[in-house]
Structure 1
Amino acid sequence: MMDGLAQPGGLASAATEGRRGFNLLRWFAVLSLACVVLFGTGTAIVLSRFLTSQMLDRDAEVSAEFLQSIVQAERTWSWFSDPASTAARLPLESFFNHVAQLPGVVRANVFAADGTVLWSSNAEMIGRRFDDNDELAAALGGRIAVEAGTVPKTEHVALDRDAGGHRFTEAYLPVWDEAHRRVIGVVEIYRLPDALFAAIDGGVRRVWIAAGLGMLLLYVALFGLALRAQALMARQQQALLEAEALGAIGAVASAVAHGIRNPLSSIRSSAELAAVEDVEGARQCLADIQREADRMEGWVRDLLLQARGEAVAPAAVDVNAVLEESARTFQSAAARQGVALRLATASVPPARGEAGALGQALDNLLANAIEAMPEGGALDLSTGVAPDGRQVEIVVADTGGGLPKGLRDGQPFFSTKARGTGLGLMLTRRILARHDGALLLESRGGIGTRAVIRLPVTGG
């Protein structure tokens, strides 16, 4: 009769299935690792590119400042506007020689303001003009343009591996006039700066090492927090399971205590009567005692079956027989209290349920009805078919003082009796709910209470 009572195994099974279906720690470990690696790798890539770009730009700026100092020292800017003149030949050749002697330079081109090559380390390029060169256009606009690549092939010239190094920089450096207002030419230089690339590589390595250590530290910290959180949740879950188990034990104990009160009361009454009755009356009392003991034994057996999870399979139940058995059980108690117990059964189809459990639900209602009429009254029991034709009705109507709101709402452990447990109606509702039935209560103060049990018919 543990209908509706919590069973400790329920939460444990659900928790086990939840862990099997979704392992929080495993998913956190995988997703956090992926996020940390993606974030760390992205950060390292951005910082590496920024570092490389900044160092290349700074190297090109130093070269541009050096060239501008040569132009100012030799006052070469005046000859860029008329490079074909005889007077410009020597100053420009001096400037070209300085360009060719820049540290690390392996190729060099000098452009006029119109984009024409004035001089080149490759004589074949002198006099040519490049209109589709974006870097040259940027330099003519006053901006330094620099990029890096690998030997042997560049955009415009082929570099020789034997020149030294395997990576080059190509820089377009603007040459300004005396007032630094107008670009009068552009110097394009190809360099193999091994020292610069070694410094860049060292910086990039440090960026990646720092990013790797940061990723490792962050992942270890997050995973450590996840482990600690999982351990805390496991302890809390275990505490919940223990609390549920204790609650279930308390509910079972309460159900047992409530369930055996009525049979024990009948046994005691029969024993008291047997002491004063004649032989025939004593035999009747002893038969009542045996019947109540058998009923109590069957109820406890069903309770133990449900405690082990072995639910009793519903079958076809003769509700008239169940009602008659309960009426017979409480006949003596009703008579002693001056309650007229009247039984009126009708021809009804069998209900779907379990006779022992339904008998317990009826006993709870009858016990409450009789106790609600301490000064006597009438208790009417009847059966019938519900208006929809798919349910059987059992009606228990008394002429007592009515039910308080707490009992009508089904609050557990609410009782108006000095020694009541407050579980009768709650257990009755749970028993009926397990059988797809329902309990309807109609009560008015001073008039009485009408309880209607509705059960589905067999095959309905």
Structure 2
Amino acid sequence: MQVLNKKLADEGRDPNAVSDPVPREFNLLRWFSVVSLLIIATVAVGLGYVSTRFVVNDSVERDAMLTAEFIQAMAKAEVRHSRIPPGTTMAQLLDPRMDNQHPGISADLAASTRIEFLDHVEHLPDTLLSNVYALDRTIVWSTNPELVGKKIEADDDLDESFNSQKPVSASYHKADEDRDEQKFLREPEYLFIENYIPMFDETGTRVLSMVEVYKEPQDLVRRIQRGYVLIWASTLIGGALIYFGLFWIVRRAASLLRTQQTQLVASETFVALGEMSSAVAHSLRNPLATIRSSAELAQEVASDRSQKNIGDIISQVDRMSRWVRELLVSLRPLKDDAEAVDLVAALEDTCSAFAQQTERTKVQLSVSAPPVALVVSQPVLLTQILNSLFSNALEAMPNGGRLTLEVLELESERKVQLTFSDTGKGMSQQQERMVFKPFFTTKQGGLGVGLVLVKRIMERFGGAVTLTSREEEGTRVCLTFNVATGGDHGAEHPGSGG
């Protein structure tokens, strides 16, 4: 051990270092489920937020526009109703400090016109607070008397409306204690809107005063809340549908990839085993034939004491030759040409072929095979499957037993099932799991390719094979075939199974 550590140290490697771990297998489904959930959740939350903000902003702007149009139209109507001389607008009358400076208009007329207009402003629905600003930003009227006379400084929205000559609106969820003009007589419950509505001179180009209205539109708030619920519910349901739809697709793809990977590994295994086994099998055939011929010649001249030994040689050579044949058959490429085969007729032929062996081993045979639809397979390969399973069942019952063969047609699934049930010695759970592995066998002297070949043939034609077994109780093998349709080759020849 010391010598090995010294050698590793000389090569520049740490003798105590742990070898690199085997890289973990990439789990497509797990990574997709996590990453896609994060992406879809992020996109859904982003879309939900943008949509809700759009709904609020659009609703607030529309409400502000309607409020501004209503107040400006009401101001013009009051001026006409009071018979104010042309050239004078409501914007010039809103500042009571200027009542005596309007040519041709008495102070009483200016005051009465202003009072009528402000009375309408005060009684606007859903109003929390209304203020009127003079050009110098002084509050000249308010529904809250405490604010009258205050000069408002550094109000960006107010300045923007004076300078841009356009209505400016903003929404709030909470009153700002630092803003003098937001002194409500009652606290808003949820959302309130602040509207700055400019009032123009007779030319419509200069803003002389500003009407500020704080509203808590109950109907609009309810609509916004319903919009919130609808948007977030739709976002949640849509995101969930997208996620689970993609999850199902990826899950199915991952399953197909695993199946294809398993098939690829199995194919590579068969190729490797095939190349090796084929070389061994072909190399053994000639020597075995020579040994058997020599043993037969020796048997003719051998003494009685040697006859048994020579007979053993011949029987063992025959067994090895049978192994070689089975091995070559199992490694032979299967043809994909499917035919419509009569399963019941093929089963009857197999029962007839094994009739003497069944009688000799004292096995009771029970067959239930009513006429069924033709199945997808090949006559030669189907016969090979049935012979292999029949032979396995008889070998599992050397002292007699019962073998039950049952054919059942599943019309709803367009399948046909053939079941072999014997009362032999059965298998353990570990043997049952290994039974379809190449070269695994529970029989003394067996090669372990029979059931492997059965599985390959069944799967090649879209069928399936399952095996269940319990020790000392027996084994049950179920073959599931696809029902042949008119498009399958040989479908017009029901006798192709003969």
Q: Which has the larger radius of gyration?
A: 1
Q: Which has the higher contact order (CA 8 A, sep 6+)?
A: 1
TM-score by length of 1: 0.49
